[in-house]
């Protein structure tokens, strides 16, 4: 396993639309293992392949307290969403230090394949539902700050670029 580097907003590669995974082969399994390790190391609750510059429809999630319940979703598709929505505070490993409110469905059902390529249906609510929606946005090239006002987004963009410049010194 290897730690992967996570793209930081406003890196244009974060806006790439991911392609479906044709088959869960050894390359994809290695990517899944590396993404899980990278997510745990970064203390995140979710990571999309897009964020590690791999543009395939694959996300990993773990919202458990003990960090021992990894969820792997390959080719996730929303098949049902609740009518109710809520605004939740979100953050993202690609936008470190920034948290803001985004409106999401309270509950969703997703069809996907697991890390072995088996089809499954996942019913999710609360934090897991929010996380799935956030990570699926990444696969469409969308970062959560794009739901915020242009003013806020520009402020975040400037702040990120400044931090990245300082890091390079
Ligand atoms: Ni994110």
Q: What is the pLDDT of residue 81?
A: 98
Q: What is the 47 CA–ligand 1 centroid distance (Å)?
A: 6
Can you tell me the distance from the alpha carbon of 106 to that of 31, in angstroms, rounded to the nearest whole number? Answer: 30
Residue 82 DSSP symbol: -
Phi then psi dihedrals of residue 66, to 5 deg: -80, -5
Q: Return the closest-CA partner of residue 23 out of 72, 75, 70, 78.
A: 75
Q: What is the 70 CA–ligand 1 centroid distance (Å)?
A: 16
Question: What is the DSSP code string of 89-148?
Answer: EE--TTSTT--EEEEEESEEEEEEE-TTS-EEEEEEEHHHHHHHHHHHHHHTT--GGGGS
Phi then psi dihedrals of residue 35, to 5 deg: -65, -40
Please indicate whether residue 135 is annotated as part of the active site. Answer: yes
What digits encode the pLDDT tens for the residues 33-83?
999 999 999 999 999 999 999 999 999 999 999 999 999 999 999 999 999
Give yes or no for residue 147 having a pLDDT over 90: yes
pLDDT bracket for residue 168 (50, 70, 90):
confident
Average pLDDT over residues 3-30: 98
Can you tell me the distance from the alpha carbon of 37 to that of 119, in angstroms, rounded to the nearest whole number? Answer: 23
Q: What is the 135 CA–ligand 1 centroid distance (Å)?
A: 6
What percent of the chain has a predicted confidence (pLDDT) above 70?
A: 100
What digits encode the pLDDT tens for the residues 89-100?
999 999 999 999
Q: What is the 22 CA–ligand 1 centroid distance (Å)?
A: 24
Average pLDDT over residues 137-157: 97
Calculate the average pLDDT of the chain.
97
Judge whether 116 and 71 are in contact, CB under 8 Å: no
Q: What is the 128 CA–ligand 1 centroid distance (Å)?
A: 13
Q: What is the pLDDT of residue 161?
A: 96
Q: What is the 25 CA–ligand 1 centroid distance (Å)?
A: 25
- Which of these is catalytic: 84, 135, 146, 166? 135
pLDDT bracket for residue 167 (50, 70, 90):
confident
Can you tell me the distance from the alpha carbon of 133 to that of 81, in angstroms, rounded to the nearest whole number? Answer: 10
Can you tell me the distance from the alpha carbon of 53 to that of 14, in angstroms, rounded to the nearest whole number? Answer: 8
What does pTM read for this prediction? 0.97
Judge whether 77 and 110 are in contact, CB under 8 Å: yes
């Amino acid at each position: 396993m290897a730690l992967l580097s996570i793209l930081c907003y406003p890196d244009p590669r974060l806006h790439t639309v991911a392609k479906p995974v044709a088959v869960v082969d050894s390359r994809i399994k290695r990517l899944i293992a590396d993404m899980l390790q990278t997510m745990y190391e970064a203390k995140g609750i979710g990571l999309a392949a897009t964020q590690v510059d791999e543009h395939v429809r694959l996300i990993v999630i773990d919202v458990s307290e003990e960090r021992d319940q990894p969820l792997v979703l390959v080719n996730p598709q929303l098949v049902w969403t609740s009518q109710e929505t809520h605004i939740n505070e979100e953050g993202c490993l690609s936008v470190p230090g920034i948290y803001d409110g985004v409106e999401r469905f309270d509950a969703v059902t997703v069809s996907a394949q697991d890390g072995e390529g088996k089809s499954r249906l996942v019913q999710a609510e609360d934090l897991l539902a929010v996380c799935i929606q956030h990570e699926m946005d990444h696969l469409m090239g969308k970062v959560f700050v794009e739901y915020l006002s242009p003013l806020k987004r520009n402020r975040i963009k400037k702040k990120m670029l400044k931090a990245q410049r300082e890091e390079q010194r």
